[in-house]
């Protein structure tokens, strides 16, 4: 659970850096999309990521079931007796947050992977050239419904990862009494910056204010 979670966080970091490129240059972003595309190494990497996600999800259900069996009817007695603030909200709702994250992932796969890599592999006709990721970003984030759903999804990921980051370090034995608080702080800062970067891309494309969308005079938000 911890190893797959950290691996997925590293992927999100790469994905975030890639998205930020789209803010400044549509051509540069499409060059990255072309470099990845349906090339064999990209397909293998995608299969590997899918495997990591499946393992992470399966273990989430297994651990949740084990935890509930161990606690019985009283899931978090400490939250109502000793220290109400000791157990984090995200910690008590990791499975629910995980389900929201999975639903958002399905939406994301439909909007991008299905229209890009899958379309290129199958020769399926889609709205744009499968390699034109910039066009798909404009279409998706320009839609108020999708933009709103993506922001909700990213907030859910933030809650999930702020707990998951330090929890993974603790599980791997990298956290003691001193480092537990440090990992919580490091994780909160890192995950917050990561999710804010994703949200900035969504908002910038929704309002048409990404530098890559501006030519000459632009909207007032620029």
pLDDT tens across the length of the chain (222 residues): 899 999 999 999 999 999 999 999 999 999 999 999 889 999 999 999 999 999 998 998 898 888 888 776 555 454 444 444 455 676 677 778 888 999 999 999 999 999 999 999 999 999 999 999 999 999 999 999 999 999 999 999 999 999 889 889 988 888 777 888 999 999 999 999 999 999 999 999 999 988 888 754 445 444
Residue 215 pLDDT: 59
Say how many Å lie between the first and final Cα of the chain, rounded: 42
Q: What is the pLDDT of residue 69?
A: 81
pTM assigned to the model: 0.85
Tell me the C-alpha distance between 2 and 164, whole Å.
Answer: 8
The reported pLDDT for the residue numbered 79 is: 47
What per-residue confidence (pLDDT) applies to 90? 67
Token pair in block for residue 151 = 């922001």
Report CA-CA distances (Å) from 51 to 48, 66, 88. 5, 22, 29
User: Are 182 and 123 in contact, with CB atoms under 8 Å apart?
Assistant: no
> Which 3 state secondary structure label does DSSP give 1?
coil
User: Alpha carbon 38 to chain centroid distance?
Assistant: 21
Hey, how many other C-beta atoms are within 10 angstroms of the C-beta on 202? 21
Q: Are 183 and 175 in contact (CB under 8 A)?
A: yes
* Dist CA 179 CA 100 (whole Å): 30
Structure tokens at 39: 């090339």
Residue partners of 28: CB distance under 8 A and separation at least 6: 21
Tell me, what's the pLDDT at 82? 42
């Amino acid at each position: 659970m911890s190893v797959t979670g950290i691996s997925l966080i590293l992927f999100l970091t790469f994905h975030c850096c890639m998205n930020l490129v789209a803010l400044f240059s549509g051509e540069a972003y499409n060059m990255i999309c072309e470099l990845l595309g349906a090339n064999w190494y990209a397909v293998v990497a995608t299969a590997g990521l899918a495997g990591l996600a499946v393992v992470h999800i399966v273990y989430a259900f297994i651990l949740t079931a084990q935890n509930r069996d161990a606690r019985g009817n009283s899931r978090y007695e400490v939250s109502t007796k000793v220290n109400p603030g000791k157990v984090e909200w995200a910690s008590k709702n990791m499975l629910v947050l995980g389900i929201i994250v999975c639903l958002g992932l399905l939406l994301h796969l439909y909007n991008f992977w299905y229209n890009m890599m899958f379309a290129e592999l199958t020769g399926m006709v889609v709205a744009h050239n499968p390699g034109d990721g910039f066009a798909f970003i404009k279409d998706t984030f320009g839609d108020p419904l999708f933009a709103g759903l993506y922001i909700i999804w990213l907030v859910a990921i933030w809650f999930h990862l702020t707990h998951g980051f330090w929890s993974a370090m603790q599980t791997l034995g990298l956290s003691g009494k001193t480092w537990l608080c440090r990992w919580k702080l490091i994780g909160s800062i890192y995950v917050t910056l990561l999710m804010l970067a994703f949200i900035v891309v969504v908002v910038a494309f929704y309002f048409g204010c990404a530098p890559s969308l501006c030519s000459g005079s632009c909207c007032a938000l620029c």
